[in-house]
Structure 1
Amino acid sequence: MVLFRRLLGEVLRAQRLERGMTLREVSAEARVSLGYISEVERGQKEASSELLASLCSALDVALSDVLRDVSDAVALEEATILRMPVRAAADAAAA
């Protein structure tokens, strides 16, 4: 199962690291607790639209870019999941 919140967290973390920012810096800029941002990055908490807008602003990245990256990651995971049953069936037939 594809978890949007996990992939969103991975994209946000990658954006933060790409900019060389610490969680503390993003926290101060976004005015969101460091712990909450950490949980979002780890896919443990859902990000509201307001929180996501604050994080994107703090990271100086367009929301559309973040959502596009997450959408691409979702598509890759879905493709992997959809191929799994085909591989398993092919392996079973070959055995």
Structure 2
Amino acid sequence: MVLLRRVIGDALRARRQGQHRTLREVSTAANVSLGYLSEIERGQKEASSELLAAICDALGARLSELLGEVSSTLSLAEGMEGVLVPVDADAVKSQSKPVDGDVSVSVRRESPLKATLHATRKPHRDVVYAA
């Protein structure tokens, strides 16, 4: 099962790392503790909509962009057999599926009820981040 908080955390971490920024820089800008931001990025804590908006603002992104990306990732996961539904214990432990040339998704099944979804999105060339 893919947890929404993990996909949100992965998307936030990817944006932060894509800007070559540290947890400390983003946590200070979003006015959230470094430890709590780290837990959000690792999918261990669920952030409120207000906190997500503050983190997105600190990253120079719109909340709608982040949620759209998360929605796309979950949609891809739903299309991969066995990712969001229980599967046989003898099922394949991991899958990888390139999608649309810009996104690749890999799934690592850790147990019948736990899977880690990792989506990699190539950055668009026309995206410019301000320093």
TM-score range, shorter chain: 0.7 to 0.9
Query: TM-score, normalised to structure 2's length?
Result: 0.61
Report how many aligned residue pairs link the two structures: 86
Which amino acid in the other structure matches residue 81 of structure 1? E
1:22 aligned partner = 22
Cα pair 1:2 1:78 within 8 Å, conserved: no
Query: TM-score, normalised to structure 1's length?
Result: 0.83
Q: Superposition RMSD on alpha carbons, in Å?
A: 1.7
User: Is 2:78 the partner of 1:78?
Assistant: yes
Please state which structure has a larger fraction of its residues in strand: 2
Computing the radius of gyration over CA atoms, which structure comes out larger, 1 or 2? 1
The Cα shift of 1:82 comes to 5.0
CA–CA distance in structure 2, aligned partners of residues 72 and 27 of structure 1:
26
User: Is 2:71 the partner of 1:66?
Assistant: no
Paired residue secondary structure (1:38): helix
User: Is 2:4 the partner of 1:4?
Assistant: yes
Cα-to-partner distance string for 1:35-72 (whole Å, 9 max, x where unaligned): 00000000000010111011001000011110011001
> Comparing both chains, which one has the higher relative contact order based on Cα–Cα distances under 8 Å and sequence gaps of 6 or more?
1
Please state which structure has a larger fraction of its residues in helix: 1
Aligned-residue sequence identity (percent) comes to 56
Unaligned runs of 5+ in 2: 92-131
